């Protein structure tokens, strides 16, 4: 029976009991969602700790029960024991073991500790966490304040409140969820939205080890997006460490905190083994017998001696090497901020060349490593990541990094035009077109001639089919930058999207004259020639581009040209290269759909065609969720479902796309194909007639194999003749 309660609003303790067994006493601590109190167990005559939630909603109660059940599954002595689940005035609570001593946060506040003591602590935590990981649980919030050192020196692990069970079947990362944990101790992949996993626990424990031996965490002066940017983009090998620290300990810290999860030790057991190997190698003493649990525990006096020997060896040579490495003066690599920015911008101008974006990212990261609050570097880095996402990648990681960097740039300087451009690019990818245009208008208000802002705004307006507005901005850009091939390309795109293929061809040829080694212009020119049924010229243009540089886009266009000529086997081979990891992009939905189209007409490959359509549908689905009003995505998704005879899914998409873009020839052509595939001949004829009316090339209609029967239809021939 509940007699009294805690005033959770003020934190003032009201003497009372929890049920009839637990009497609350003083408060031990408080977090955002809960308070922890000392309580007296009246039946067993002992002190316990009670974790009491501040609210009592169903979600909070289930979360607390989840925490208690997870913690109860762990048997290692380092984990806090759970005694009971109770309520106090309707507020859920966990009754648990009270752990005496001090947190590692309190220990670190007294200054750095010796490496021997730090490694003993890390070994104990790794031993316990190895058991948790083996049972499929991760902690997700390892940090000094969640690690308690008892008076006898033993380490206890607190707060499994955000732990979760790993899903061995999960193959894709969910980037829509918010990362849970403490940002200062999160691994880079967590900051990018991935769920906590064993490798992120290893990263956090590496940060704890770093903090134990240095007395401070890396990037201690940073917070918010600046801290996130430093974690995601920074190089942990640059974190300063004591010059007298044994090189193998330095190596262990660097490995545990590697930015790439694959570069970290593979398990908590592997961390313990690295320490053990050092003990065995340097001390020449066999390890002691295993404990009954099957784990090995070092004699830490021996480790201290080993560290001393390592330090002595370092002082005799290894240490001199390490100190020299840390203090040597680089030559070419140590560039000024201005030089890094200049070289990064030049690399961005060559974004479609192999290695150019990598080069740009290296330069912008170098600025942010030295100056984490540099808004321009963060904005440029965001734009580079956006180009990575939009090019031969489509990896959600790039988009997430672009978003983080754009937010950092705006946070540091909201009067920087480039920061608003970076934000606009990200908003556009998320389907927030009006917000993107508003950001670009603000950028152009701050800098009317900013080429990145002009480029982004023209692209956005063309994609929205707001051609008159796009032309006004384009004319201004070409007046200001008449020899910039990006704006010349955009002029060609503007004509192409309105079915003026001859004018598009002229613009793309001009772009090649201005910059002959830009392969995208060859792909664009090829597309314009295809739409004019000049197939041999189109193939010749592609070969010129491929001689300059292999490109997934060029291989995709090559497949399209061969398909138009009826060479379906050759088209399939080209599309297979376009979706390959080595020469193209396996995450591009359109290339998988094109591959499927070709495979349908290759004998014996019909099953492979259906698998490719299914792949295209899976890849386009998240893009359509993000941009549900995108008519291209909508009409293509409907067509791919029609290819798989999924009529109930396909028809609504086709109808919706036609309603949104009643004058778009490509949308009408896809609708005609979808209707024909689904057996709706009259609707297919109506859509195809409109596609021709709005400028879809007659030659491409005549070479489409799925429309052979429709073209023979008397009703279609009659309507075509009349028109």
Is residue 700 very low, low, confident or very high in pLDDT (cuts 50, 70, 90)? Answer: confident
C-alpha span between 585 and 293 (Å, rounded): 48
CB 274 within 8 A of CB 230: no
DSSP state of 25: E
Secondary structure tally for the chain: helices H, strands E? 33, 11
Is 433 in contact with 464 (CB distance < 8 Å)?
yes
In the numeric block, which tokens belong to residue 257?
Answer: 């905190």
How far apart CA 367 and CA 361 sit, in angstroms, is 10
- Would you say residue 293 has pLDDT above 50? no
pLDDT at 382 over 50: yes
Residue with tokens 């799925």: 706
Question: What are the C-alpha distances in Å from 513 to residues 71, 451, 504, 506, 508?
Answer: 67, 20, 14, 11, 9
In contact, 649 and 633? CB cutoff 8 Å: no
- Give me the mean pLDDT over the 550-579 stretch: 87
Coil, strand or helix at 671 = helix
Q: Could you give the C-alpha distances from 556 to 508, 512, 643, in angstroms and in order?
A: 18, 19, 20
Is 141 among the catalytic positions? yes
Please check whether the domain covering 17-97 is classified as CATH 3.30.200.20. yes
Averaged pLDDT score across all residues of the chain: 82
> Is residue 338 scored above 60 in pLDDT?
yes
Q: Residues annotated in the binding site for ATP, as ranges?
A: 51
Q: DSSP string of 175-217?
A: -SSPP-S-GGG--HHHHTTPPP-HHHHHHHHHHHHHHHHHSS-
Give me the phi and psi of 23, to 5 degrees please: -105, 125
Give dist(CA 621, CA 589) in Å, integer: 9
Using CA atoms, how far apart are residues 22 and 6, in angstroms rounded to an integer?
13
- Catalytic entry in 116, 123, 141, 201: 141
For residues 698 and 711, the answer to whether their CB atoms sit within 8 Å is: no
User: Please, what's the b/e burial string for 247-263 (b: 16 or more CB within 10 A of its CB; e: otherwise)?
Assistant: bbbbebbbbbbbbebee
Burial (CB < 10 A; 0-12, 13-18, 19+), residue 721, is exposed
More confident residue, 329 or 112: 112
Provide the greatest CA pair distance for the chain: 99
Question: For the residues 400-409, what does the mean pLDDT come to?
Answer: 89
Kindly state the percentage of the chain with pLDDT values over 90: 42
Q: Is 578:559 a contact under the CB 8 Å cutoff?
A: yes
CATH superfamily of 348-482: Tetratricopeptide repeat domain (1.25.40.10)
713 exposure class (CB count in 10 Å sphere: 0-12, 13-18, 19+): middle
| SS3 annotation, 532-581 | CCCHHHHHHHHHHHHHHCCCHHHHHHHHHHHHHCCCHHHHHHHHHHHCCC
Residues near 265 by beta carbon (within 8 Å), at least 6 away in sequence: 202, 255, 256, 271, 274
3-state secondary structure (DSSP) of residue 39? strand
pLDDT of residue 135: 80
Instruction: Identify the DSSP state of 500.
Output: -
Q: How far are the Cα atoms of 278, 280, 305, 651, 662 from residue 284, in angstroms, in the given order?
A: 10, 5, 12, 74, 80
Q: Measuring CA to CA, how many Å separate 326 from each of 3, 144, 313?
A: 63, 27, 18
Please provide the size of the chain in residues: 723
Q: Is 608 exposed, middle or buried (0-12, 13-18, 19+ CB in 10 A)?
A: middle
Question: Which residue ranges make up each domain of the chain?
Answer: 17-97, 102-166+176-327, 348-482, 630-722
CA-to-CA distance for 274 and 565, rounded, in angstroms?
61
Please name which of 223, 200, 232 lies closest in space to residue 402, comparing C-alpha atoms: 232
- Which of the pair, 506 or 284, is modelled with greater confidence? 506
Q: Contact at 8 Å (CB) between 561 and 548?
A: no
Our CA dihedral for 209, 214, 215, 219, rounded to 10 degrees, sits at -90
φ, ψ dihedrals at 597, nearest 5°: -55, -40
Give the Cα separation of 515 and 524 in Å (integer): 14
Name the E strands within 334-397: none
pLDDT at site 393:
52
| Element spanning 35, H or E | strand 34-41
* Alpha helix ranges (H) inside 245-374: 247-256, 268-283, 300-313, 319-327, 337-349, 356-370
Class of residue 511 by CB neighbours under 10 A (exposed 0-12, middle 13-18, buried 19+) = buried
User: Residue 419 — very low, low, confident or very high, per pLDDT cuts 50/70/90?
Assistant: very high
Q: What is the DSSP letter of 316?
A: I
Neighbours of 234 (CB within 10 A): 20
Average pLDDT over residues 33-60: 78
* Third-level CATH fold of 630-722: 1.25.40
Cβ-based neighbours of 592, under 8 Å, separated by 6 or more: 579, 612, 613, 615, 616, 619
Classify each residue of 553-566 as buried b or exposed e, where b means 16 or more C-beta atoms within 10 Å of its C-beta: bbbbbbbbbbbbee
Please write the tens of the pLDDT for every residue from 271-289. 999 888 775 444 433 443 4
Instruction: Tokens for 287, please give them.
Output: 């390890």
**Residue 173 has what pLDDT?**
35
pTM of this prediction? 0.59
Pairing mode, strands 34-41 and 46-53: antiparallel
* Averaged pLDDT for residues 349-359: 80
Alpha-carbon radius of gyration of the chain = 31
Tell whether domain 102-166+176-327 is in CATH 3.90.870.10. no
431 dihedral zone (left: phi>0; alpha: psi -120 to 50; beta): left
Instruction: Tell me what percent of the residues of the chain surpass a pLDDT of 70.
Output: 83
Q: Is 494 helix (H, G, I), strand (E, B) or coil?
A: helix
Distance (Å, whole) CA 471 – CA 457 = 11
- The dihedrals phi and psi of 172, each to the nearest 5 degrees, come to -125, 150
Query: Residue 52: its pLDDT value, please?
Result: 81
Give me the mean pLDDT over the 685-697 stretch.
92
Is 348-482's fold the same as 630-722's? yes
Which is more confidently placed, 542 or 229?
542
pLDDT of 279 reads: 59
Q: What is the mean pLDDT of residues 681-692?
A: 93
The residues that bridge with 87 in the sheet, in sequence order, are 92
Tokens at residue 642, please? 């029609």
Displacement of CA 650 from its chain's centroid (Å):
30
Give the tens place of pLDDT for each residue, 142-174: 999 889 999 888 999 987 643 444 433 232 333
Least confident span in 111-125, 501-515, 544-558, 599-613: 544-558
């Amino acid at each position: 029976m509940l007699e009294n309660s805690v005033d959770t609003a003020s934190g003032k303790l009201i003497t009372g009991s929890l049920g009839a067994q637990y009497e609350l006493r003083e408060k031990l601590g408080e977090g955002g969602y809960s308070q922890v109190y000392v309580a007296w167990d009246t039946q067993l005559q002992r002190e316990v700790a009670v974790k009491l939630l501040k609210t009592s909603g169903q979600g909070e109660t289930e979360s607390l029960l989840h925490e208690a059940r997870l913690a109860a599954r762990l048997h290692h002595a380092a984990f806090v024991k759970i005694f009971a689940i109770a309520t106090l005035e309707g507020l859920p609570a966990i009754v648990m073991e009270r752990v005496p001593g001090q947190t590692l946060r309190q220990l670190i506040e007294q200054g750095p500790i010796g490496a021997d003591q730090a490694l003993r602590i890390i070994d104990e935590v790794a031993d316990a966490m190895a058991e948790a990981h083996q049972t499929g649980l991760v902690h997700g919030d390892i940090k000094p304040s969640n690690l308690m050192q008892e008076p006898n020196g033993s380490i206890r692990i607190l707060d499994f409140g955000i732990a979760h069970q790993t899903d061995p079947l999960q193959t894709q990362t969910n980037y829509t969820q918010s990362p849970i944990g403490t940002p200062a101790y999160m691994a880079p992949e967590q900051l990018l939205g991935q769920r906590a996993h064993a490798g992120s626990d290893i990263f956090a424990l590496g940060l704890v080890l770093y903090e134990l031996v240095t007395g401070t965490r890396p990037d201690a002066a940073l917070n918010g997006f600046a801290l996130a940017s430093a974690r995601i983009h920074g190089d942990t090998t640059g974190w300063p460490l004591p010059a007298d620290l044994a090189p193998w300990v330095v190596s262990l810290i660097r490995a545990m905190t590697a930015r790439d999860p694959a570069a970290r030790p593979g398990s908590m057991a592997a961390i313990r083994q690295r320490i053990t190997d050092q003990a065995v190698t340097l001390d020449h003493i066999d390890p002691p017998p295993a404990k009954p649990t099957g784990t090995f525990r070092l004699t830490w006096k021996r480790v201290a001696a080993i560290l001393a020997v390592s330090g002595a060896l370092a002082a005799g040579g290894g240490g001199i090497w390490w100190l020299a490495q840390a203090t040597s003066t680089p030559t070419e690599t140590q560039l000024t901020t201005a030089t890094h920015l200049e070289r990064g911008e030049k690399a961005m101008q060559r974004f479609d060349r192999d290695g150019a974006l990598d080069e740009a990212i290296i330069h912008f990261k170098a600025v942010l490593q030295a100056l984490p609050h540099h808004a321009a570097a963060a904005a440029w880095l965001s734009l580079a990541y956006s180009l990575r996402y939009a090019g031969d990648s489509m990896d959600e990681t790039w988009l997430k990094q672009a978003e983080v960097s754009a937010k950092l740039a705006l946070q540091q300087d909201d009067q920087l035009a480039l920061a608003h451009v970076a934000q606009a690019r990200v908003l556009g990818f998320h389907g927030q077109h009006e917000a993107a245009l508003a950001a670009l208008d603000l950028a152009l208000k701050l800098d009317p001639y900013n080429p990145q802002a002009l480029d982004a705004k023209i692209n956005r307006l063309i994609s929205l089919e707001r051609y008159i507005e796009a032309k006004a901005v384009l004319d201004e850009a070409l007046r200001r930058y008449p020899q910039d091939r990006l704006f010349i390309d955009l002029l060609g795109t503007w004509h192409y999207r309105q079915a003026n293929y001859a004018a598009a061809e002229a613009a793309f040829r001009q772009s090649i004259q201005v910059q002959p080694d830009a392969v995208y212009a060859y792909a664009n020119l090829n597309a314009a020639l295809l739409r004019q049924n000049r197939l041999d010229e189109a193939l010749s243009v592609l070969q010129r581009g491929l001689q300059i540089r292999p490109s997934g886009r060029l291989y995709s266009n090559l497949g399209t040209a061969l398909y138009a000529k009826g060479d379906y086997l050759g088209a399939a081979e080209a599309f297979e290269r376009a979706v390959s990891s080595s020469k193209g992009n396996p995450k591009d939905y359109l290339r998988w759909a094109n591959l499927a189209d070709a495979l349908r007409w290759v004998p014996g490959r019909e099953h492979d065609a259906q698998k490719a359509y299914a792949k295209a549908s899976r890849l386009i689905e998240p893009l359509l969720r993000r941009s549900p009003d995108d008519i291209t995505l909508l009409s293509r998704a409907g067509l791919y479902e029609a290819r798989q005879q999924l009529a109930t899914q396909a028809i609504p998409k086709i109808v919706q796309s036609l309603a949104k873009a009643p004058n778009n020839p490509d949308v009408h052509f896809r609708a005609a194909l979808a209707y024909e595939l689904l057996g709706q001949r009259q609707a297919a004829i109506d859509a195809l007639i409109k596609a021709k009316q709005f400028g879809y090339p007659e030659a491409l209609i005549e070479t489409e194999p799925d429309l052979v029967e429709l073209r023979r239809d008397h009703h279609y021939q009659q309507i075509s003749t009349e028109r």
